[in-house]
Structure 1
Amino acid sequence: MQDLTRRTVIGGAAALMLAGRAVAQTGQQTIAPVDPGDEMVPLWPGAIPGRQGSRIARKVNERSKTLGFNDRWMTGIDTPALVVKRPARPNGAAVLLMPGGGYGFLAYDNEGTEQARWLNALGVTCFILLYRLPGEGWGDRRLVPLQDAQRAMRVIRHGASGFGVDPARVAIIGFSAGGHLAGSLATRHGETVYAPVDAADRLSARPDLAGLIYPVVSMDAAITHKGSRDNLLGPTPTAAEVAAASVDGRVTAATPPVFLAHASDDRTVPVANSLSIYTAMLTAQRPAEMHLFDEGGHGFGVRLPKTTPAAAWPTLFATYAARKGIFPA
């Protein structure tokens, strides 16, 4: 890990801990919990980068028709935050979860709360990232999600002792467009995309491991998910903007280990995206593990029947994370 010592992180941890779990405040804004009792951690202590005065209000669309089963899509992320999900028996490992939704919404349950549930059962502390959606009126739209992702990693490390996590064992998992965001953080963690605001910003934003699940990787029109590209870059991006936002072209020697899972029958985000970054990782001689499944489609999260091949990915990820020293062996 670059630019980070455990002593530095633990010494400054208390500055970011909250007095209560139900409602968090930053500046003049209040972050309401998504569910009663949620522990909410605001990302920005004052002005949020790129705010232009547009009225943005959080909205939750419950798509489930089954009583007791949530399938919420979230838009209007006016105040980016972390939703902390703590395990009963924490083991020090942490995962920052990045739901997908084509950069137009967040699939909060399918790629957030349901992921936290199985990870909590393994003793892993989870942080669901409520990141800003670039098309909702923010300035410098192409950098908005990455600003939140970088800041989230630094907030987690700065508050590591209070969260009960090891700052050297923080992984990320992103899904679909959230996979693009996770890949962007893995490859652009050292890039300056916002002005530092406090002591947390002296810490590294580099994840220790990146899980990319059916990810959008390239902005190349031949293989990208058009909706994600349009929402992130606008309908007519320049060639330079396309190149800058394509994760497969940003892999360096500083890129952390990457785990990939994708289904060959994905009709939304072509499997070529995973193949592209896997090839880039091999070319850069960086550690990577890829699992391509015959069946699974897109957006499967952890909902697939055990008989469907792609249902194996959480176990495979946990095994890889243990081998890389993030999860206990």
Structure 2
Amino acid sequence: MITTRRGALGLAAAAATPVSALAMTPVSQLAPPDPTETIRLWPHGAPGGERVTVTPVVTERSTDPAFHDRFARYTTDPILTVLRPERPNGASLLLIPGGGYKWAVVDKEGLDCARVFAAAGVTCFVLRYRLPGDGWAAGPDAPLQDAQRALRIVRAQAPDPARVAVLGASAGGHLAGMLTTRTDQTYAPVDDVDAVSMRPDLSILLYPVATMSDPFVHAGSRKEMLGETPSAEAMERYSLERMDWAGRPPVFLLHAMDDEAVPVENSLQLLTALKAAGVPSEAHLFQEGGHGFGVRLIAGKPAAVWPELVMRWAERLGWV
């Protein structure tokens, strides 16, 4: 574990269920029916869709009735799915699942993880975002438009607008990282919500796709975001470790050393950049776990404690 100085905000550790129990409880015991509350990001349609012709589809991969494993492709109407805790502690969390920018998973790094944090009192919002290869005018910035708008929506209705965090996994970690460090406005304001800050107060990145450059790039994510033969300038612009992190909020990194899809060097290089910029950071590296484990696929292994690690780190940051 590598820890730098304390930051100002975090996820509250006050919980209806002890975090140690949350980390080890099988998702099948936690998962209720799908939440019914959703929020459309763009009331008048997502920006830059004049040339978009795709048809949205959600695919189920699981053959086990005990759990879902769905992914969404060709999203045209981005949404937030809301999970409200029985005993809210005032903290809000925007979850951005992965999918290599080819799709966005719904359950594994979305609803499954949200249920764990909702059980600890956190109000959770799972983002289903647009994808860069579907013809949107913003191209590689289309997912970031959704993330920026989503964070603002969450903050605008949060119990405490000063306690809004983001959690991103895999390619969703890349998107959460861009949301955390990029300050440029990527879309024209559409209503009063866009006057609210789009900067998260805390950023949690699980096995993130960080770099767009060889040799540690996740090639599939780079292809979907930047095309077959991206320029050196484009790869640098979209590599998290090359971005300006000065003054950014605290960051939590988690990665498995045996991750063959997104090499651990993605987190290590990013951690070096965070340290150089003076960003309060904590990193946890596990010997095993592979990639894309969320909470269900890591049950019974040491890395299963990661939700507890997040909550304890956030508590130390002084949000309680």
**TM-score category, normalised to shorter length:** 0.7 to 0.9
Distance (whole Å) between structure 1 residues aligned to residue 267 and residue 57 of structure 2? 31
CA distance in 1 between partners of 2:151 and 2:203 (Å): 12
Give me the whole-angstrom Cα distance separating, in 2, the residues matched to 1:147 and 1:91.
28
Segments ≥4 residues shifted beyond 3 Å? 304-307
In the alignment, the residues of structure 1 paired with residue 104 and residue 46 of structure 2 have an alpha-carbon distance, to the nearest angstrom, of 19
**1:297 maps to 2:287:** no
Q: Judging changes above 3 Å, is the alpha-carbon distance between structure 1 residues 287 and 201 closer, same or farther for their aligned structure 2 residues?
A: same
Q: Equivalent of 2:103, from 99, 102, 105?
A: 105
Q: Look up the match of 2:76.
A: 78
Q: How large is the Cα RMSD of the aligned pairs?
A: 1.4
Q: Does 1:93 align with 2:86?
A: no
In 2, are the aligned partners of 1:173 and 1:210 still within 8 Å (CA)?
yes
Instruction: Give CA-to-partner distance per residue, 1:161-192, whole Å, 9 cap, x none.
Output: xxxx211111111000000000111111x212
Structure 1 match to 2:317 = 324
Contact 2:83–2:114 (8 Å) recurs in 1: yes
Q: Distance in 1 between matches of 2:280 and 2:298?
A: 30
How much has 1:37 moved relative to structure 2?
Answer: 5.5
Cα pair distance change 1:322/1:129, threshold 3 Å: same
| TM alignment of 1:180-259, pairs within 5 A | 180-188=174-182, 190-259=183-252
Decide whether the 8 Å contact of 1:43 with 1:80 is kept in 2: yes
* Structure 1 position 81, deviation (Å): 1.3
What amino acid maps onto 1:84 in structure 2?
V
Distance 2:236 2:298 in 1: 37
| 2: CA distance, partners of 1:123 / 1:142 | 34
Deviations 1:276-306 (A, max 9, x none): 1100011011100000000000011002455
Letter in 2 for 1:275: L
Q: From 266, 282, 289, give the equivalent of 2:275.
A: 282
The one-letter amino acid paired with 1:228 is: S
Q: What amino acid is aligned across from residue 296 of structure 1 in structure 2?
A: G
Q: Deviations over 1:45-71 (max 9, x none)?
A: 224212024223321111111113101
- CA offset digits 1:178-222 (Å, max 9, x no partner): 00000111111x212111111111111110110000000010121
Out of 166, 177, 185, the residue aligned to residue 160 of structure 2 is 166
CA contact (8 A) 1:169 1:325 kept: no
The CA distance in 2 between the partners of 1:168 and 1:107, in whole Å, is: 28
Describe the SS at the equivalent of 1:291: strand
Aligned partner of 1:54 in structure 2 is 52
Partners of 1:304 and 1:310 within 8 A in 2: no
Say if 1:274 and 1:149 are closer, same or farther in 2 by CA, change over 3 A: same
TM-score w.r.t. structure 1 length? Answer: 0.84
Q: 1:258 is aligned with what amino acid?
A: V
Report the Cα distance in structure 2 between the residues aligned to 1:37 and 1:213, rounded to whole angstroms: 23
More contact order relative to length (CA 8 Å, sep ≥ 6): 2
Q: Percent identity?
A: 51
For 1:52 and 1:297, locate their aligned partners in 2 and report how far apart those are by CA, in whole Å: 39
Unaligned runs of 5+ in 2: 1-32
- Please give the TM-score of this superposition, normalised by the length of structure 2: 0.87
Q: Give 1:126's match in structure 2, choosing from 119, 124, 127.
A: 124
Q: How many residues align?
A: 288
Matching residue of 1:39: 37
SS of 2:283 mapped into structure 1: strand
Q: Which amino acid aligns with 1:199?
A: D
Unpaired runs of 5+ in structure 1? 1-34
